[in-house]
């Protein structure tokens, strides 16, 4: 990336905020949304992911379904994270395996573990949530290394997917609070966010 004096268009406080947030990002955890039909839920999950420092999200789209970001729900948090879209489960899994992620899918069965027992100390973890009706697919179950569930103690035995994602991400993030992102990766994110933040300025010809 070409070096610019960003202080000419961004305040020092803004740049320092980018650095502070980037340091607390986590690459060891990613979230996968499989065939979720309600765009409100997808946007809500994206907001939770960004808020808890998850940098990447993978979305497997239902056939014939198109998705649009809703800034009123995401509060523009999608601007700061990396979102990847797929039309097949296998394509998403292939990408995750290339990046050495283990796959933990939300599905209640006799072999499922509670969400708080997911171990993020032994490698990178992809957390998968399925759609509002059927949950994760049989194909995703086949690819999963482990299954997990969120224990509940009332008459209700299920959660909205965006709530389930927020609870799980929050719990896992607690286990990673003291790990700071490497300097090179921090710098990469700061540069990316700076470009995002100055996009309108550059479109008007302020920087070439």
Neighbouring-strand partners of residue 113: 148
> Average pLDDT for consecutive 10-residue bins of the chain (208 residues)?
55 90 95 95 97 97 89 94 96 98 96 94 95 91 97 91 96 85 92 83 52
CATH number for 117: 3.40.1280.10
In a domain, 13, yes or no: no
Tell whether 195 is covered by a domain.
no
CA dist., res. 184 & res. 51, Å (int): 22
Six-digit token string for 185: 């990766």
Question: Which pLDDT value is given to residue 61?
Answer: 92
CA distance 151 to 49: 21
Q: In what order do the strands lie in the sheet with 124-129?
A: 82-86, 56-60, 29-34, 124-129, 101-106, 146-149, 113-114
Q: Give dist(CA 71, CA 78) in Å, integer.
A: 8
Does 7 map to a domain? no
What is the domain extent for residue 177? 25-190
Residue 46 belongs to a domain: yes
Residue 122: per-residue pLDDT? 87
The verdict on residue 169 lying in a domain is yes
Residue 17 falls inside a structural domain = no
Looking at residue 6, what is its pLDDT?
52
Q: Are 31 and 57 in contact (CB under 8 A)?
A: yes
In a domain, 121, yes or no: yes
> What pLDDT is recorded for position 207?
46
Six-digit token pair at 172? 């896992």
**Could you tell me if residue 116 is inside a domain?**
yes
Number of domains, the chain: 1
Is the pTM of the predicted complex or chain greater than 0.95? no
Q: Which residue in 25, 61, 28, 29 sits closest to 42, CA to CA?
A: 61
Instruction: State residue 9's pLDDT score.
Output: 65
Q: How far apart are CA 88 and CA 91, in angstroms?
A: 5
């Amino acid at each position: 990336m070409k070096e610019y004096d960003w202080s000419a268009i961004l305040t020092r406080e803004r740049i320092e905020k980018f650095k502070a947030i980037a340091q607390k990002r986590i690459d060891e955890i990613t979230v996968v949304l499989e065939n979720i039909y309600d765009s409100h839920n997808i946007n809500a999950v994206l907001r939770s992911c960004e808020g808890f420092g998850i940098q990447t999200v993978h979305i497997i789209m239902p056939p014939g379904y198109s998705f649009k970001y809703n800034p009123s729900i995401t509060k523009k948090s999608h601007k700061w994270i990396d979102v990847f879209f797929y039309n097949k489960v296998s394509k998403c899994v292939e990408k995750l395996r290339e990046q050495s992620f283990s796959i933990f899918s939300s599905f209640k069965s006799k072999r499922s573990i509670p969400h708080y027992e997911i171990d993020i100390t032994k490698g990178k973890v992809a957390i998968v949530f399925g759609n509002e009706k059927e949950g994760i697919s049989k194909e995703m179950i086949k690819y999963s290394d482990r299954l997990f569930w969120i224990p509940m103690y009332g008459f209700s035995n299920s959660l909205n997917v965006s709530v389930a994602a927020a609870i799980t991400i929050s719990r896992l993030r607690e286990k990673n609070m003291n790990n700071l992102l490497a300097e090179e990766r921090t710098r990469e994110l700061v540069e990316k966010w700076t470009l995002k933040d100055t996009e309108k300025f550059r479109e008007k010809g302020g920087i070439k």
